[in-house]
Chain A
Amino acid sequence: MIEVDALSVCFGRTEAVKSVSFRVARGESFGLVGESGSGKSTVLRAVSGLNPHWTGRMSIGGELLAPRRSKAFHQRVQMVFQDPYGSLHPRQTVDRLLSEPLLVHHMDNVERRIMRALNEVALPASVRFRYPHQLSGGQRQRVAIARALMPEPHVLLLDEPTSALDVSVQAEVLNLLADLQQARGLTYVLVSHNLAVVAHVCSRIGVMQSGELVELLSADDLRAGRTHHPHTASLRELSIELEEPETARDH
């Protein structure tokens, strides 16, 4: 579905992404982990078309990607951002936010599609005419996911979709993403600094460090500690030590 070959992104003189290659099959979830500045979000933004200054070769669904994307591309590939406070226009109601993609792509049945999307992300119909500031963080992220689903995409790019949320809301959103993937056969690319989240959602994981993809491994290998690169090992160790009380106490 997604093929990325020797992708490099430069900001001025600094190379933020250095020749990154990976493949994602249809219906699969691929995760990119790394610390801030590792270039993981930059990869995602290059794939989405937000950053046109890249070199290399990328294709989605067999179609080679140019720096400028077509309307059809944006219909097939959508993105969910990290900050649900910043990714929704502050002066637009949920109704307007959700109908915008439909208007851009000249899609019919606006009314029905909006109600269906709200239903799909488990939001009550009463939020339809609310503004983002009247919603909780979790509700906003659901609206953002609903908006991404409006053009009926095949691929969802998820940029730290739960890192701004409370842990209990994070669990709800992660479950929702799993349900949506099953119902729609979506392909996910998830970027996160949280190893546990990535391992939960994705079957295959790429580890990034200072712009390079240092290791590609399966989630099961990561859980079992079958890592090859020292950076992967140290990230894993830290995550287990700090975030999992049971295991930490057992040691």
Chain B
Amino acid sequence: MLVEIQNLRIQFRTATGVSEAVRNVSLTLGQEKLGIVGESGSGKSLTARSILRLLPSNAISTADSLTFDGIDVLRADERTLRRIRGKRAGLILQDPKFSLNPVMTAGAQIAEAWHVHRGGSRKAAEQAAIELLAQVQIRDPQRVARAYPHELSGGMGQRVMIAMMLAPDPELLIADEPTSALDATVQAEILRLIEDLVSRRGMGLILISHDLPLVSHFCDRVMVMYAGRVVEELAAAALTRARHPYTRGLLECLPALSHRQTRLPVMQRDPSWLEV
């Protein structure tokens, strides 16, 4: 197993005491595509980021076990973690505008990522950067390599980001709302690209999103989180047969294009959902 989490718990120290953000979450991930879906504040990002131990400084995370390819992440030192972060596991964030360095060309940033993790000459790194840009289906990689982030569209920026993450040839890709800032057409292209790359390279993928139908479209398995808990885990193909009222509610409250509704069903949150 690539990732194994048993009973993960994340708490935040605040002025008024301790608040629980994630409670008793367990998951295992092999070479497959897992979607984590939930609304804002459900703890989906925290759960995924805890694998890289990239949590805010006031967060306390505990778990019975939390391993990445057998390495105990919770007890690992910074040096071991650095060898995982960015090298063996890449993280793609929502807005490439904030994750790319604005004063470096796209090519230079990818070359840098390549050079840091794999060494070799500058020239080889630059060559590799252009190859990676071609791999993320950029038609004119030479031109994009010379462009600065502000000269790229949102979708193109996200491709550059993905190319950068692929440079060290990671085993796991965590994509945290990778397409929420993008248009529907671009969104579909980027997700297809990620899906394709993950399948071809035999990586594990964790796709985090608030959009349940979208995630189920691109993943094998979907984990639905509510208020820090996993309320339901199901095969993506079985989405319409979801049992938990929260999962059903998420699907039903979406306005549909295919049929007409006068009013949208509103989710009635049941306190018993918190007793999972």
A and B touch in the complex (CB under 8 A): yes
A interface residue numbers (CB < 8 A to B): 35-36, 137, 166-172, 174-175, 178, 193, 195-197, 199-200, 219-220, 222-223, 234-236, 238-249
Closest to B251 in A: A245
Closest CB in chain A relative to B26 CB, distance in Å: 25
Given contacts A193-B184, A223-B259, contact A171 B240 (CB under 8 A): no
Q: Are B185 and A167 in contact (CB under 8 A)?
A: no
Q: Are B257 and A174 in contact (CB under 8 A)?
A: no
Q: Are A137 and B250 in contact (CB under 8 A)?
A: no
CB of B154 within 8 Å of the partner chain: yes
Within 8 A of A (CB), among B254-274: 254-267
Given contacts A171-B253, A239-B257, A243-B213, contact A166 B39 (CB under 8 A): yes
CB of B239 within 8 Å of the partner chain: yes
Please report the C-alpha to C-alpha distance between residue A199 and residue B262 in the assembled complex, in whole angstroms. Answer: 11
Q: Are A175 and B240 in contact (CB under 8 A)?
A: no
CB of B1 within 8 Å of the partner chain: no
Which B residues lie within 8 Å of A199 (CB)?
Answer: 255, 257
Which B residues lie within 8 Å of A169 (CB)?
Answer: 39
Please report the C-alpha to C-alpha distance between residue A248 and residue B257 in the assembled complex, in whole angstroms. Answer: 12
Of B210, B257, B262, B267, which contacts A240 at CB under 8 A? B257
Closest CB in chain B relative to A138 CB, distance in Å: 10
Please report the C-alpha to C-alpha distance between residue A178 and residue B239 in the assembled complex, in whole angstroms. Answer: 29
Closest CB in chain A relative to B264 CB, distance in Å: 4
CB of B3 within 8 Å of the partner chain: no
Q: Are A168 and B183 in contact (CB under 8 A)?
A: no
Please report the C-alpha to C-alpha distance between residue A200 and residue B255 in the assembled complex, in whole angstroms. Answer: 6
Which B residues lie within 8 Å of A246 (CB)?
Answer: 240
CB of B54 within 8 Å of the partner chain: no
**A-B residue pairs, 6 tightest by C-beta:** A200-B255, A171-B253, A166-B39, A171-B264, A35-B183, A168-B267
Within 8 A of A (CB), among B207-251: 210-214, 216-217, 237, 239-240, 249-251
Which B residues lie within 8 Å of A171 (CB)?
Answer: 253-255, 264-267
Closest CB in chain A relative to B183 CB, distance in Å: 4
Closest CB in chain A relative to B105 CB, distance in Å: 23
Please report the C-alpha to C-alpha distance between residue A166 and residue B254 in the assembled complex, in whole angstroms. Answer: 10
Of B213, B237, B261, which contacts A242 at CB under 8 A? B213
Please report the C-alpha to C-alpha distance between residue A110 and residue B242 in the assembled complex, in whole angstroms. Answer: 48
Please report the C-alpha to C-alpha distance between residue A248 and residue B212 in the assembled complex, in whole angstroms. Answer: 13
CB of B188 within 8 Å of the partner chain: yes
Q: Are A166 and B210 in contact (CB under 8 A)?
A: yes
Please report the C-alpha to C-alpha distance between residue A247 and residue B251 in the assembled complex, in whole angstroms. Answer: 13
CB of B40 within 8 Å of the partner chain: yes
Q: Are A168 and B240 in contact (CB under 8 A)?
A: no
Please report the C-alpha to C-alpha distance between residue A235 and residue B184 in the assembled complex, in whole angstroms. Answer: 8
Which B residues lie within 8 Å of A166 (CB)?
Answer: 39-40, 210
Closest CB in chain A relative to B238 CB, distance in Å: 10
Which A residues lie within 8 Å of B211 (CB)?
Answer: 167, 243
Of B216, B217, B237, B254, which contacts A167 at CB under 8 A? B254
Q: Are A238 and B184 in contact (CB under 8 A)?
A: yes
Q: Are A197 and B255 in contact (CB under 8 A)?
A: yes
Closest to A174 in B: B264
Q: Are B154 and A36 in contact (CB under 8 A)?
A: yes
Closest CB in chain A relative to B269 CB, distance in Å: 8
Closest CB in chain A relative to B9 CB, distance in Å: 24
Residue of A172, A193, A236, A243 with most chain B CB atoms under a 10 A cut-off = A243
Please report the C-alpha to C-alpha distance between residue A236 and residue B184 in the assembled complex, in whole angstroms. Answer: 10
Q: Are B185 and A245 in contact (CB under 8 A)?
A: no
Q: Are A35 and B263 in contact (CB under 8 A)?
A: no
Q: List 19 A-B contacts (CB under 8 A).
A: A137-B40, A166-B210, A167-B253, A168-B267, A171-B253, A171-B267, A175-B263, A178-B263, A196-B257, A197-B255, A223-B260, A235-B185, A241-B217, A242-B188, A242-B214, A244-B213, A245-B216, A245-B251, A248-B217
Q: Are B257 and A244 in contact (CB under 8 A)?
A: yes
Which B residues lie within 8 Å of A240 (CB)?
Answer: 257-258
Closest to B181 in A: A36
Q: Are B249 and A223 in contact (CB under 8 A)?
A: no
Further 12 A-B residue pairs, CB within 8 A, beyond A242-B184, A245-B216: A35-B185, A36-B183, A166-B39, A168-B266, A193-B184, A196-B256, A238-B184, A240-B258, A242-B188, A242-B214, A244-B256, A245-B212
Please report the C-alpha to C-alpha distance between residue A195 and residue B184 in the assembled complex, in whole angstroms. Answer: 10
Closest CB in chain A relative to B97 CB, distance in Å: 13
Given contacts A36-B154, A171-B267, contact A238 B253 (CB under 8 A): no
Interface mask (B87-103 → A, CB under 8 Å = 1, otherwise 0) = 00000000000000000
Q: Are A174 and B39 in contact (CB under 8 A)?
A: no
Closest CB in chain A relative to B235 CB, distance in Å: 12
Which B residues lie within 8 Å of A242 (CB)?
Answer: 184, 187-188, 213-214, 217
Please report the C-alpha to C-alpha distance between residue A193 and residue B216 in the assembled complex, in whole angstroms. Answer: 21
